[in-house]
Amino acid sequence: MSLEQYYEKLKEEYIERTPISGRAFKKAAKYLAGGETRTVSYYPPYPLTIESGRGCRLIDVDGNSYYDFLNNYTSLIHGHANEKIANAICDAAKKGTAVPAGMEEQVKLAELLCERVPCVDSVRFCNSGTEATLFATRAAKVFTGKNGIVKMLGGYHGTTDMMEYNVTPPVMDYEHPQNMLIPKPDIRGVSDKLAEEMYIVPYNDLAAMEKVLSSHADDIAGVIVEPFLGAGGVIPAKKEYLEGLRALTEKYHVLLIFDEVQAFRLSEGGAQKKYGVIPDIAAFGKIIGGGLPVGAVGGRREIMEVFNAAGKDPVTQSGTFNGNRATMAAGYAALMQYKQADCDRLEQLAIRLQTKMEDAIRSVGMEGCVTRAGSLMNYHFIKGIPRNYTDVTRENKDLCKIIHLEMLKRGIFLAPRGLIALSTPMDESVIDICAEAFRDSLVSIRKIW
């Protein structure tokens, strides 16, 4: 049987196991364009419909249960329906969720971020990581009076036009990887005119960064970078790389912007605290909202002052639901339960899972590895260890799709692309169940391939 036929067989089994989800998707397709409302949620034959979640478990409408190893694409640090967060949301809802005025809950969460995150003297809230990176780059442009932004090849920072450049460019020609560095939007509907302001460099490559900065520093406001390449495959950076970025941006008078939307979970003060590399500005999202929509931009006081409405010529930073009470209370409740000891425990669990998964890959004689940053990881079926986007594009994507369905069959919910995110309700026994499911999945595939 070919891999393709095997994939077809797995899809048939999936349809048999999930008839109610199948019907729910058909109904959804009448009212939601494409049957869902988030591109990343879709996979063939159709995504599950989830009835409920509690802790690290999910139940679908057919009654199948899963361990959730995706946690809403890394954003639920405490899994589902955490009692303290749920109570905080209910209390907030009873007091009224949104008013165009100050609310104490905003200041509590802002104070916590200022205390914990080294670069943050003050913050502004918004409603998504997308908005956070938008406002972070905008602040950099206004503060420096320049328009250029350096972005990593394969770096994902949300869905604004500028950030949709060179996220997943097609690999036209492996002999000429330089082609992938020409600034271009990946998706239709995004203006290609922004290319003038964009500079694309490969991740983990300080020489390439220096080349761009030394030639264009007069036009460049900031470098936006994740402390590991998250959606690009959880590709870690060495501390020296981040230190090198800090030194180069200082040398060329360009702001360093950390996108901590995923990376914040690396320590109680984010990746910057873990690595001791302090950017000028940072963008936040995901876990700081306790499971509700959130974003925040924070940084050095003099940069953040561009948003001061009482200041001279302030930059508008609006958003009807910015700092709404429910999100602020949920975020505060989530972070108060996520201290350094919790990050460390999750990292130990992640190392255990990574080790067991890599053992499994070796034991079935496949080529592959599991990359990891803190409690996030991604498996790759590839020779060697990927260091950047170009490396990741060489992996066997068909295998990832198949493993995804194999894992669902075994009660493990993770991303079709192989992303795994742990949550605090997990313990060693849950980790071992996931590792076993992964091993069994590989053994099954190995029987036909």
Ligand X SMILES: Cc1ncc(COP(=O)(O)O)c(C=O)c1O
Distance (Å) of CA 363 to CA 3, 311, 356, 405, 409: 20, 63, 10, 21, 21
Residue nearer to ligand X on the CB measure, 220 or 287: 287
Cβ(326)–Cβ(125) below 8 Å: no
Task: Give the residue, chosen from 68, 164, 226, 268, that forms a contact with ligand X under the rule CB under 6 A.
Answer: 226
Question: In angstroms, how far is CA 111 from the centroid of its own chain?
Answer: 24
Counting Cα atoms < 13 Å in the Cβ hemisphere of 113 gives 33
Least CB distance to ligand X at residue 159 (A): 7
Which residue is at the shortest CB distance from ligand X? 129
Binding status of residue 378 toward ligand X by CB under 6 A: no
Q: Do the beta carbons of residue 382 and residue 394 sit within 8 Å?
A: yes
- Window contacting ligand X (CB under 6 A); options: 7-15, 80-88, 223-231, 232-240: 223-231
Work out whether 390 is an interface residue with ligand X (CB under 6 A): no
Q: 329, 84 in Cβ contact below 8 A?
A: no
Measured from the CB atom, the residue of 24 and 78 that comes closer to ligand X is: 78
Nearer to ligand X, 60 or 260 (CB): 260
Nearer to ligand X among residue 133 and residue 166 (C-beta): 133
Distance in Å, CB of 418 to ligand X, minimum: 15
- Residue 250: what residue type? E
How far apart CA 421 and CA 415 sit, in angstroms, is 9
Question: Contact with ligand X (CB under 6 A): which of 162, 200, 231, 297?
Answer: 231
Give the shortest CB-262-to-ligand X separation in angstroms: 4
Show contacts with ligand X in window 153-192 (CB under 6 A).
156-158
Q: Is the separation of the CB atoms in 280 and 299 below 8 Å? A: yes
Under the binding rule (CB under 6 A), the answer on residue 368 touching ligand X is no
Element (H, E) at 329: helix 325-336
Please say which residue, 209 or 287, places its beta carbon nearer to ligand X. 287
Secondary structure class of 2 (helix, strand, coil): coil
Q: Output 60 or 164, the one with its CB closest to ligand X.
A: 164
Compute how many residues bind ligand X; rule: CB under 6 A.
Answer: 15
Element (H, E) at 295: strand 295-299
Give CA–CA dist 91/141, Å, rounded: 39
- Residue positions annotated with a catalytic role: 156, 259, 286
Q: Assess 230 for contact with ligand X (CB under 6 A).
A: yes
Q: How far is the CB of 233 from ligand X (least distance, A)?
A: 12
List b or e across 22-58, with b for residues whose CB sees 16 or more CB atoms inside 10 angstroms.
bebbeebeeeeeebbeeeeeebeebbbbbbebebbbb
Q: Segment 248-307, which members bind ligand X (CB under 6 A)? A: 259, 261-262, 285
Per-residue contact flags (x/-) with ligand X for residues 97 to 136, judged by CB under 6 A: -------------------------------xxx--x---
Q: Which residues bind ligand X (CB under 6 A)?
A: 73, 128-130, 133, 156-158, 226, 230-231, 259, 261-262, 285
